Amino acid sequence: MKLTHRTVTLALREPFSISRSTDKTVDSVFIEIEHDGLIGYGEASPQEHYGESVESATAFLADAEALLWDDPFALDEIEARLASLSGEHAAKAAIDMALHDLCGKLAGVPVWRLLGLRRVGPPTSWTIWLGDPDDMARRTERVGDRFQRLKLKLGAGDGLDVERVRAVRGVTALPLQVDVNEAWELDEALENVLALGGLGVQYVEQPLRAGHDGGARLKQESPVPIYVDEDVHTLQDVTAAAERAHGVNLKLAKSGGIREAVRMAYAAKALGLGVMLGCMVESSVGIAAAAQMASLCDHVDLDGNLLLGDDPWTGVDFVDGVQIPSDQPGLGVHEALSRTG
Ligand SMILES: [Mg+2]
């Protein structure tokens, strides 16, 4: 199999702020794996926070090509060979996506069917990024009825996070989820979760920094379910997550692809944990790949492609707040026709 890749800078519709950063553009690495006249597509969204970059991902891809050999269905063997190259989960995910795309195309079925899963999962949340309480409420009003649930980014460090949720709650009846991206200290978290319990918040994502030793106590005392994201990357993290959380947020860019994320979903269910499926800011390639397994999950947060000003790919249908994967073979993704003619 032949692997090629290119890096593309994707512009966001509007700057996107979370507790640790503000972004106007993101870089994605798009890959193609060619086999027998067919092409499988994948996307890597390397995260600086996890020590990955476009440079480290592309260096990994250059080394990985020689380990693919010639059978795209040999997913287990390929994964074992790639494990000899450490880290680079985003790039590993891109390869996993492209191999699944190829397998689906060879079998003539969409990946969700290849996996034996249902096509349609829960509705996606829409992210209201971090801003002042009033600003977040105004942006919430503009969302209208396109989405069935909202995820609020919190963690400004100004003591106004509960106010933010109250302001947004004042303008919408939609289910609310909040993501703190590791920004709260334990005392703050213990206090805030009590207040959020009264505001109809479905769950609080990653309130404490990854590995914080107050996680178990927070889980015990919180009236609102705690989900972890930065705390859980691959299958080996799921058991420890059960001590500090009621659920886990799976992302292909962390797990290294669909295969590991499916294993994590079942492991989480076995431990009585809720399963959420998230994403990075990425194009319809990455979102289509994740959407293939959305039906396995209790909560879905796959709005990454909808945050882009000009998604270079198509392949996911957004219908009544739900991200529906294609019924075409493989991932069903295609390059969008140029809008500039
Ligand atoms: Mg998160």
Calculate how far, in angstroms, residue 243's C-alpha sits from the geometric centre of ligand 1: 18
pLDDT in tens, 291-313: 999 999 999 999 999 999 999 99
**pLDDT exceeding 70 applies to what percent of the chain?**
99
Per-residue pLDDT, averaged over 67-96, amounts to 97
Instruction: Provide the edge-to-edge strand list for the sheet that holds 2-18.
Output: 2-18, 21-35, 38-44
Provide CATH code, domain 125-335: 3.20.20.120
Conformation bin of residue 289: beta by default, left when phi > 0, alpha when psi is -120 to 50: alpha
Calculate how far, in angstroms, residue 184's C-alpha sits from the geometric centre of ligand 1: 13
Cα 44 from Cα 229, distance rounded (Å): 18
Helices (H) and strands (E) in the chain, counts: 12, 15
Calculate how far, in angstroms, residue 253's C-alpha sits from the geometric centre of ligand 1: 12
CA–CA distance from 47 to each of 236, 306, 316 (Å)?
A: 20, 19, 23
pLDDT at 246 over 70: yes
pLDDT in tens, 250-266: 999 999 999 999 999 99
Calculate how far, in angstroms, residue 228's C-alpha sits from the geometric centre of ligand 1: 8
Q: What are the start and end residues of each CATH 3.30.390.10 domain in the chain?
A: 2-108
pLDDT at 340: 47
**pTM exceeds 0.85 for this model:** yes
Per-residue pLDDT, averaged over 235-259, amounts to 98
Calculate how far, in angstroms, residue 179's C-alpha sits from the geometric centre of ligand 1: 6
Calculate how far, in angstroms, residue 206's C-alpha sits from the geometric centre of ligand 1: 7
In what helix (H) or strand (E) does residue 320 lie, and over which residues does it extend? none
CATH class of 2-108: alpha beta
Calculate how far, in angstroms, residue 229's C-alpha sits from the geometric centre of ligand 1: 5
Instruction: Judge whether 90 and 52 are in contact, CB under 8 Å.
Output: yes
For residue 338, what pLDDT band results from cuts at 50, 70 and 90?
A: low
Calculate how far, in angstroms, residue 67's C-alpha sits from the geometric centre of ligand 1: 32
Calculate how far, in angstroms, residue 40's C-alpha sits from the geometric centre of ligand 1: 28
pLDDT at 91: 98
Calculate how far, in angstroms, residue 68's C-alpha sits from the geometric centre of ligand 1: 31
Calculate how far, in angstroms, residue 77's C-alpha sits from the geometric centre of ligand 1: 31
Pairing of strands 149-153, 176-179: parallel
pLDDT at 144: 86
Calculate how far, in angstroms, residue 277's C-alpha sits from the geometric centre of ligand 1: 10
pLDDT at 114: 98
In the numeric block, the tokens 């319809």 are attached to 284
- Is 95 strand, coil or helix? helix
Q: Count Cβ atoms within 10 A of the Cβ of residue 296 and give its class: 0-12 exposed, 13-18 middle, 19 or more buried.
A: buried
pLDDT at 258: 98
DSSP code of residue 293 = T
Q: What are the start and end residues of each CATH 3.20.20.120 domain in the chain?
A: 125-335
Kindly give, in sequence order, each residue whose CB lies less than 8 Å from that of residue 198, ignoring residues fewer than 6 positions away.
none
For residue 317, what pLDDT band results from cuts at 50, 70 and 90?
A: very high
pLDDT at 339 over 80: no
pLDDT in tens, 21-36: 899 999 999 999 999 9
Instruction: Judge whether 288 and 260 are in contact, CB under 8 Å.
Output: no
Per-residue pLDDT, averaged over 123-131, amounts to 97
